[in-house]
Chain A
Amino acid sequence: AGLGQFCGCKMEAVASMDCVASTGSVLSIAQKAAMQSSLPILKKNYKFHQVLFFGKIIGKTADYLIAIGIEDSWLDTKKFFYCQDGVAWAQLPDVTAELKANAAKLPSGLMFSGNPSELFPLPAPPPTGEEEPAEDAESPKITEEQRLAVVVQMIEAETALAPVGALSMRSTGAVLPSPAFAGLDASAAKSISSYVLLNKTKPTSVLTPAVTKSADALASAETIVPKAALCVFADESVGAVTVRNLLWPGALAFCKPGTKTWGYCYFGTGEKNQDIAFMLP
């Protein structure tokens, strides 16, 4: 029953996208309907604990819908899937450090094109010494799929927020939804200190009692740099509070005060806002 409750909380995630729609990202009815049927199938096939709809990465000719499958712990074991129509999901490749380094070499501001097998040539390393670069050496290429995987993982790692108390760390180290969470109340939901970064654990000392350790394992959202990058918006008409991330424009976390509904998503082009230092009022 407990599991069913949380399943319900997340299966409605597609429906709870209404909470974030006022920033201009809505799902078309075709996409919603397709995902309502394809996400449970994905969950069953892979035997996931939860499947979340992460959001949309906008490309030049087509967009990508991204979903996350959680096997066991919300912290470590996540698999990312993408698709373009809402029906057929494909798994994104795992991200290695080499892949991350290669993706970082691409010029910033390059949009995704919409074709998953498109190749992006990486700029060749500057020739060392006086040797001429070998003419037959091909510059390494990176596919759009790999690039997507790197970007999605980076965004999710940096922007995923959860309300305080919604997740707790078990003795195995796995981070799972806490059964004692009943929802934030309206005034607490409006302050950033009521949210924690999902992917960042707090450094804990051995002396803290186990109860505090399990409940308090994740770093508070106030540790984000710069601090003013998170803006909280309360929308009474929908009854939701959204937290917008200005460092990754398009990243949102939402919760409905008083209920167990919460989530996070990303709708955007996948670019970081490098100029945020200038732009904050």
Chain B
Amino acid sequence: RHFEWAGFGLPREEAFRVYMSLHKLQIAKRLSTVRFFGKILGTTADYYIAEAKFLEDPEEEEPPEGVEPPPVPPEARGTGCNACVYFATNDPAKPWTELPQATPAQISAARCIRKYFTGNLDANVRAFPVFPGKEREYLRAQISCIVHATVLCPKGKYMLQGEEDEPKTVVEVDKEDEESYVPLAPGAMQSVQSWCHYYMGILGIGRTTNLPKEEEEEDEGEEGASKPKVADTEQEVQALAPVSPSDWSVQVVSRMGGVPVVIARSLRWPGANSACLQEEDKFTNLYIGYGHEALPTPFAAMPPPMIQQEPPDLEEQQDPPLADENILFKAAKQAEYEEEEEAAPEE
């Protein structure tokens, strides 16, 4: 509803249908929280996406034997990119399909390609470099990128809680606790500085956290050569990081006789919007769009790998003539025969 004032969002009847459908989903799958993430438009059908958390996490499946674990392991259920489970459907009246967990390989591959979604979860994603998965994996990877880049919350509403060196959780600030809660001034939401990202950023490897560093082997002789690449790991982007003003535009929409609504529109991910009611403590995020980032330069596909050169030609060699071969063969046979003769009289 807040979005309707800004001229963005779904029509009322459709929003109501989506709401009823989410309610049904929550009961059916026993979810603790469900949020309507938004709508991703496709060429033949659209996807409605719901973000949810299970009441009880389902058991982890054992990876099938014989399959190598991927070089960058996916994040466990409930953390990082897989903090929430996503469901997709083409129509609110139809049942929701659970999207698989996101793996870092898929997220990094999704960054290299740019394709429209067709609306069919089992469709192939025809692109180069070859995407490891079908449209549902591509959809899940794009949802991860969008969520980690565009879900915002007002500054000061949440804080990080946790020990040093341990992953921190985002916790709502207790309003009774006067020390940590600093309410924002009423007009403050209009500036970009009052918004911050809710989730951690995704690194280049496709995860939000770096892999745990392995202990360096204490090998005095090989210090330079076999040092693990510690220097190449990217800095993790903490949750609740401030929003960069060049990526977002903030508008205030006044409602006659109501509290004005502040809308933050993402410039990097067109279609992602965040709304907040000034003076009241409510905010929401919604995404309606095609699911792609707005690139500053035209998209350049990855070039195919270099064509391998032919190996050098084999040199021709002369075959030894048959007579020479026979001489060698006879000599070998003679040697064998003589050995047998020597062995035989000894017995």
Which A positions have Cβ atoms within 8 angstroms of B? 18, 21-31, 56, 58, 60-63, 108-109, 111, 228, 231, 233, 237, 244, 246, 249, 269, 274-275, 278-281
Do A25 and B298 form a contact, CB below 8 Å, given A30-B256, A278-B115? Answer: no
A27–B11 CB distance below 8 A:
no
Q: Which 3 A-B pairs have the closest CB atoms?
A: A24-B288, A21-B11, A275-B299
Q: Is the interface of B mostly helix, strand, loop or mixed?
A: loop
Say yes or no: is B13 at the interface (Cβ < 8 Å to chain A). yes
Please, how many angstroms separate the alpha-carbon atoms of A29 and B6 in the complex?
Answer: 10
| Interchain nearest-CB distance for B180 vs A (Å) | 33
B8–A278 CB distance below 8 A:
no
B7–A237 CB distance below 8 A:
no
Please, how many angstroms separate the alpha-carbon atoms of A62 and B255 in the complex?
Answer: 15
Partner of B115, one of A60, A61, A269, A279: A279
Query: How many B residues touch A, CB cutoff 8 Å?
Result: 46
Interface flags, B60-71, vs A, CB<8A=1, else 0 = 000000000000
Which B positions have Cβ atoms within 8 angstroms of A? 4-11, 13-14, 17, 39, 41, 43-46, 113-118, 123, 125-127, 249, 251, 253, 255-256, 265, 267, 270-271, 288-290, 292, 294-296, 298-299, 301
Do A279 and B116 form a contact, CB below 8 Å, given A23-B288, A24-B289, A30-B256? Answer: yes
Please, how many angstroms separate the alpha-carbon atoms of A83 and B39 in the complex?
Answer: 29
Which B residues are CB-close (under 8 A) to A28? 4-7, 253
Which B residues are CB-close (under 8 A) to A21? 10-11, 14
Q: Is the interface of A mostly helix, strand, loop or mixed?
A: loop
| Interchain nearest-CB distance for A29 vs B (Å) | 8
Do A24 and B10 form a contact, CB below 8 Å, given A111-B267, A231-B43? Answer: yes
| Interchain nearest-CB distance for A62 vs B (Å) | 7
Which A residues are CB-close (under 8 A) to B10? 21-22, 24, 26
| Interchain nearest-CB distance for A278 vs B (Å) | 5
Which B residues are CB-close (under 8 A) to A108? 298
A281–B43 CB distance below 8 A:
yes
Q: Which residue of A lies closest to B44 (CB)?
A: A231
Do A274 and B115 form a contact, CB below 8 Å, given A24-B10, A28-B6, A231-B44? Answer: no
Q: Which residue of A lies closest to B39 (CB)?
A: A24
Please, how many angstroms separate the alpha-carbon atoms of A170 and B295 in the complex?
Answer: 45
B11–A275 CB distance below 8 A:
no
B249–A26 CB distance below 8 A:
no
Do A61 and B251 form a contact, CB below 8 Å, given A24-B289, A26-B9? Answer: yes
| Interchain nearest-CB distance for A57 vs B (Å) | 12
| Interchain nearest-CB distance for B123 vs A (Å) | 7
Please, how many angstroms separate the alpha-carbon atoms of A246 and B4 in the complex?
Answer: 24
B296–A27 CB distance below 8 A:
no
Partner of B123, one of A26, A27, A30, A281: A281
A246–B8 CB distance below 8 A:
no
List 8 contacting pairs A-B, 8 Å CB cutoff, sorted by A.
A21-B11, A25-B8, A26-B7, A28-B5, A231-B44, A246-B43, A274-B299, A280-B116
Please, how many angstroms separate the alpha-carbon atoms of A111 and B113 in the complex?
Answer: 24
Please, how many angstroms separate the alpha-carbon atoms of A61 and B263 in the complex?
Answer: 10
Partner of A18, one of B11, B45, B46, B117: B11
